[in-house]
Amino acid sequence: MENRISKLAPSILSADFCRLGEQINELENNNIDLLHIDIMDGVFVPSISFGMPVIKSIRRITDMFFDVHLMISEPIRYIEAFAKCGVDGITVHVEACKDLEATLDKIKEQNMKCAVAINPDTEIEEITHVLEKVDMVLVMSVYPGFGGQKFILESFEKVERLDKIRKDKNLDFLIEIDGGVNVENAGKIAESGADWLVAGTAIFSGNITENINKIKEEI
């Protein structure tokens, strides 16, 4: 637990979809081994992103871990379909599930890693009952649905509290943070206890390789 090293998780929501395969290849050349894939339904969040055909397409060109973040209502309906696309791990929102534990169990039944996400205005107490079940907790440091938002400073406290809980209870879930991550705040985020830092705009805006190297230097 004490030797965790924070890692970078590029969010392809900010990628150039005309060059998606090329950009994924550049990520791999920079030793990135996890892709964060945001799925939005226009119901749980206002925006609509993309779905299973895109995941199937990029699964053919990379062996990277597919970390799929479902920002959709009642995600339990689609767990099996995403598993068939070659997804490695699924994150669902506590706010979007009528039965969170059943949804997490469904993910595990499909031999995928399971994670729970909490929005900025959701308290940690809403998910403490599943911390022994999940492989990861995703702390949203912006309100989900839109890229380019500023990092919400209160997110540091959430990450620190979750890190303390897992140490006190000897749990092994990972902590991921998503939203407003950039070269200026990446170091402090890592120090707070986050294992995975999701970054979209900060990676795909400009020179991808240079952006990755700058953020990695901080974490």
Residues in the chain: 219
Three-state secondary structure call for residue 141: coil
Pick the catalytic residue: 41, 67, 135, 178? 178
Distance CA 46, CA 116 (A): 20
- Whether 178 sits among the annotated catalytic residues: the reply is yes
Structure confidence at residue 147 (pLDDT): 61
Residue 27: name the closest of 68, 61, 71 by CA: 61
CA–CA distance, 36 with 68 (Å, rounded to integer): 6
Sign of the dihedral defined by the CA atoms of residues 53, 137, 208, 64, in that order:
negative
User: Which residue among 33, 38, 135, 163 is the active-site one?
Assistant: 38
Integer Cα distance of 178 and 200 in angstroms: 9
Selection from 65, 110, 71, 62 nearest residue 91 by Cα: 71
Measured CA to CA in angstroms, residue 84 lies from 52, 56, 79, 88 at distances of 9, 9, 9, 10
Helices H, strands E: what count in the chain?
8, 8
Asked if 38 is an active-site residue, the reply is yes
- Looking at residue 148, what is its pLDDT? 64
pLDDT in tens, the chain (219 residues): 345 679 999 999 999 999 999 999 999 999 999 999 999 999 999 999 999 999 999 999 999 999 999 999 999 999 999 999 999 999 999 999 999 999 999 999 999 999 999 999 999 999 999 999 999 999 999 998 766 678 999 999 999 999 999 999 999 999 999 999 999 999 999 999 999 999 999 999 999 999 999 999 999
pTM for the full predicted model: 0.95
